[in-house]
Amino acid sequence: MQRKGRLLILALASLLVLERTMILDTFPSAEEFYKTYWGQKPFVVHGAIDQAVFEGVIDGDSLAGLALEEDIKSRIVMTAPEGGKWTCEHGPFEEDRFGTLGEENWSLLVQNVEQYHTDTAKLLQSFYFAPRWLMDDIMVSYSTAGGSVGPHTDSYHVFLVQGMGWRKWTIGESPVQNEDYIEGLDLKVLKGSVQGAEIEVGIGDVIYIPPYFAHEGITTQEAMTFSVGFLGPKLSELMVEYGHYLEQMHQGNKHYGGTGLDVESAGFAIAPGARDSIQNDLINALRSNDFSIWLAEYFSMPSHDDIENIDTRYEPLSDQDLLERLQDRQNLYRPEHIKISMTTSSDETINLAAYGAALPTSPAHNKLVHWLNQNNTLSMQDIEALGGQDALMTLITYLYNQNILFFENEALDL
């Protein structure tokens, strides 16, 4: 009895230590985030996002409307009853499907919501400390009481932002080394329950979960959850995509000419010298400025296929027209759903890209580009502090006419 009591005390103490480690008062600083948490351990911040932010995000009815669309990825997951099976249906759905689901034990999940409901993308303003260039999408789930997708792991980093309602999460203490899933399901559900800390979250609470940490969320009261995912590509994907870029650009895409071959490469033998020569050609292609430009373009591409290249405005403005509006104290802003990324070339020029297309910049624009990376509004006062209208207005006008910058309270011209 004494031994059992001691074990219980130790178990409770270890759970308290875990919860103290996981539960933070505020988001960590960027330095602390990457040093302590990114890819290493989860955390929870209660009240991390002001409840007023959720007034403009998508609601359950509008989410169901998106799930009717052909090109939007959506799923309905039915929670497994005791001794039963999980079920997963893929959209698009008929409108009357939602009337047959009942009031418990199901979830609707829709991907890439930030592209289709731009007010939902404003949630991203809370995550500037994260690598926004790696952001994949905001997946939104609506779930009834008892709704869940089961115990599972993800291959990506995710911030689980709780909207309305309440959910109870169990979060594993360490990454799962060998996932063991229930067989025969169109859904990856781990066998057995998650062992770890239990956390209940309500509106404004945020959980960060690194890749491969098991977790399970169960809705206790009708809820909306916004999953902000960060997913890096496979090395093979990067190599293929950069190869396509070189093929299109032609420059740097020379044939291997066999320079320097000797008798060791006679017949079918690829001699060490030939191997090294080919390898050096590949390395030189990766070290070129072309690679920096392509990398910015690649990571600015939307994570789904139906968004085309940037369209110009129906009624573009001249530099002077735009300047007059800025001087009239109208501020520009960058909508959060527009994905941008940047790299720096060897000559210190910043390569800025949006929607997979490089934008014309020069070293004179560097301060402005850094500003756009850290802020989403731009006033005339900001422009003067960042280099002045003579140096910057051409680029700012270009960004406006390409539908990357907008005036506040202006309808999105997409």
Say if residue 414's pLDDT is above 60.
Answer: no
Query: Of the candidates 50, 199, 35, which has an alpha carbon nearest to the alpha carbon of residue 126?
Result: 50
Residue 108 corresponds to which amino acid?
L
Q: What are phi and psi of 318, to 5 degrees?
A: -85, 170
SS3 readout for 341-384: EEEECCCCCEEEEECCEEECCCHHHHHHHHHHHHCCEECHHHHH
Token match 């985030």: residue? 33
53 touches 47 (CB < 8 A): no
Residue 187 corresponds to which amino acid?
L
Say if residue 11's pLDDT is above 60.
Answer: no
In angstroms, the Cα distances linking 344 to 131, 240, 354, 366, 387 are 16, 22, 15, 10, 19
Q: Taking the CB of residue 112, how many other CB atoms lie within 10 A of it?
A: 22
In angstroms, the Cα distances linking 28 to 138, 229, 405 are 21, 18, 30
Tell me the pLDDT band of 7, cut-offs 50, 70 and 90: very low
pLDDT at site 1: 45
Tell me the pLDDT band of 107, cut-offs 50, 70 and 90: very high
Say if residue 2's pLDDT is above 90.
Answer: no
Q: What are phi and psi of 347, to 5 degrees?
A: -90, 15
Say if residue 124's pLDDT is above 70.
Answer: yes
pLDDT at site 13: 47
Torsion of CA 171, 172, 175, 176, to 10 degrees: -110
- What's the whole-model pTM score? 0.88
pLDDT at site 8: 52
Q: How far apart are CA 175 and CA 310, in angstroms?
A: 39
Q: How far apart are CA 101 and CA 259, in angstroms?
A: 68
pLDDT at site 46: 96
Average pLDDT over residues 57-61: 96
SS3 readout for 25-64: CCCCCHHHHHHHHCCCCCEEECCCCCHHHHHCCCCHHHHH
Q: How far apart are CA 216 and CA 189, in angstroms?
A: 10
| Token digits of residue 319 | 């530099």
Q: Considering the chain, what percentage of its residues have pLDDT values greater than 90?
A: 64
| Token digits of residue 74 | 């959506």
Kindly state the helix (H) or strand (E) to which residue 135 belongs, with its residue range: strand 135-143
pLDDT at site 224: 98
pLDDT at site 3: 47
208 three-class SS: strand
Say if residue 9's pLDDT is above 80.
Answer: no
| Token digits of residue 50 | 């002001």
3-state helix, strand, coil in the chain (%, to 5): 35, 25, 40
pLDDT at site 409: 76
Say if residue 412's pLDDT is above 90.
Answer: no
Q: How far apart are CA 377 and CA 110, in angstroms?
A: 29
Query: Of the candidates 403, 395, 243, 382, which has an alpha carbon nearest to the alpha carbon of residue 316?
Result: 403
Mean pLDDT score of the chain: 88
Say if residue 95's pLDDT is above 60.
Answer: yes
Q: How far apart are CA 151 and CA 135, in angstroms?
A: 23
Judged by average pLDDT, the poorest of 97-101, 250-254, 302-306, 334-338 is 302-306
pLDDT at site 192: 83
Could you give the domains of the chain?
Answer: 2-230 (2.60.120.650), 235-288 (no CATH), 319-407 (3.40.366.30)
What tens digit of pLDDT does each residue of 363-406 get? 889 899 989 888 778 999 999 999 999 999 999 999 999 999 99
Judged by average pLDDT, the poorest of 258-262, 294-298, 320-324, 389-393 is 258-262
pLDDT at site 355: 85
What tens digit of pLDDT does each residue of 128-141 get? 899 999 999 999 99
Average pLDDT over residues 72-77: 96
Kindly state the helix (H) or strand (E) to which residue 198 belongs, with its residue range: strand 196-201
* Exposure b/e, 138-174, CB count within 10 A at least 16 = b: bbbbbbbbbbbbbbbbbebbbbbbbbbbbbebbbbbe
